[in-house]
Amino acid sequence: MAPIYHALGLHFHQPLTNLMDIYNSGENWEAKQILWCYDRTTRMLEGFEDVARLHLSFSGTLLKQLEDPAIRKAFKNVADIADLMERYRKSTIEFLGSGLYHPVYPLIPESDWDAQTQWWLGLGKHMLGRETFNGFWPPEMGFSMEMIPMLKKHGYNYVLVDCWYIKPKGVMRWEEQRYKPHIARYGGEEIIIIPRDRELSDAQESGLDPSWFQNEIIERTKWCDFPALVTTWTDGENGGWFRTTDVLSGFWGYYLDILNRFKAGTLGYTPVNISEYLSKHPPQGEVEVYPGAWNTGEHWGGDFMQWTGSLLQKKGFDEIRNASRYYQDVKRAFDNYSVALSNPEEIKQLVFDAYDALLEAETSCNFYWGSSWVHKSFDRIEDTYRLLDIAMGQLKEAQKRV
């Protein structure tokens, strides 16, 4: 029988300002539960370092909050955030990169992909203590083939993709399609595709019995004549399954039960880090990937309707594209005429701040909740235009002097 491996991943994310918003609303119990999710992760691995294999993806919007001195002060009696981040830096967890403001990449302008990706890398290296990140977690698992050259440029070796969107090139059995890494090529570049098992991930998120999960993995891979890689990935702090203060009755109780079975030699599969698996079992088959995101409570993900289903949501993305084009115009004007400015550093800062506001407007959460949060995106787009208008006015004056 071929060996079976399991790669477990959790995604940590909070919309920008959300922790402080919850704190100021008086719902301190919710904020405490969220912080405890981040604090307990490394603690639950203590004593299991030899067998525990865990992947984490942090959104840039969450890392920004965990870095914020005001957040650290407000929650000092809940968790020592400086200490918990130091524990993450010292851990053997495999961290994956992501986008700074957690955008659904296929829905935002391609011209903004580089900044979202590169700016996360700067923050991620600083906060997580890693010089490189081998894998990429697309926010909301929103992926399209066009992203491959950009991801390779930023040093990524593999990317997580929902298994429903994988299209084999040639003959490929169901088990191979779902439980093998693949190569995908676009624009002269290639990247490794790691399929996420959708149904097992749904179970991981909603709560499950360890014996059921163990049996389900073995049943799903029993016809595999190759080293199977079963990958499950979910949010790691949403719902009582993760937030419960009775820790062993929730996700971590299930996880430690699984690790104890592995230690006892009764599990039937091996926990593994994806990079470790790839070093021993490189991909062979080639696939294409349909555009899509992960499934939500309302939608299956392939049509992005969770983020684009209403007229206001669609209008929000239209305005993001318009603002992005305006930014590119102003940026070109600055590059051409900055030498004629009396205050080039001031204008450069205006342009930077405008772009930061635009990238924040692209946050997926602004569009996740139907039309109710789209105003958050519009607010930041207005800031973008206000700053760019100031910069463009001075650049036009500089152009006259050239």
- What is the model's pLDDT at position 400? 86
Is residue 183 pLDDT above 90, yes or no? yes
CB 122 within 8 A of CB 83: no
Rounded CA separation 283/13 (Å) = 30
pLDDT of residue 345: 97
Residue range 350-381, pLDDT digits in tens: 999 999 999 999 999 999 999 999 999 999 99
CA distances from 200 to 84, 148, 354 (A): 29, 26, 42
Q: pLDDT for 197-218, tens place per residue? A: 999 999 999 999 999 999 999 9
pLDDT band with cut points at 50, 70 and 90 for residue 284: confident
Asked whether residue 397 carries a pLDDT value surpassing 80, the answer given is: yes
Amino acid in the structure at residue 133: F
CA distance 294 to 126: 28
pLDDT at 26 > cutoff 90:
no
pLDDT digits (tens, 9 = 90+) for 47-76: 999 999 999 999 999 999 999 999 999 999
At residue 171, does pLDDT exceed 80?
yes
Confidence of residue 401 (pLDDT cuts 50, 70, 90): confident
The pLDDT of residue 1: 77
Query: At a CB cut-off of 8 Å and minimum separation 6, what does 242 contact?
Result: 37, 235, 236, 250, 251
At 144 the pLDDT is: 98
Which helix (H) or strand (E) is 368 found in, with range? helix 365-368
pLDDT of residue 27: 75
Model pLDDT, residue 329? 98
* Interval 86-118: pLDDT, tens: 999 999 999 999 999 999 999 999 999 999 999
The arithmetic mean of pLDDT across residues 154-175, rounded, is 96
Q: What is the model's pLDDT at position 310? A: 98
Q: What pLDDT, on a 0 to 100 scale, did the predictor assign at position 28? A: 82
Sheet holding 135-136, edge to edge: 135-136, 158-162, 189-196, 182-186
Lowest mean pLDDT among 22-36, 41-55, 71-85, 297-311: 22-36
Q: If you average pLDDT over residues 174-195, what whole number do you get?
A: 98
**Domain residues of the chain, as ranges?**
4-305, 309-401
The confidence band for 191, taking pLDDT boundaries of 50, 70 and 90, is very high
The CATH architecture of the domain made up of 4-305 is Alpha-Beta Barrel (3.20)
% of the chain beyond a pLDDT of 70: 100
Contact call for residues 141 and 196 (beta carbons, < 8 A): yes
Q: DSSP for 284-352, please give it.
A: --BEEE-SB----SS--STT-HHHHSSHHHHHHHHHHHHHHHHHHHHHHHHHHHGGG-S-HHHHHHHHH
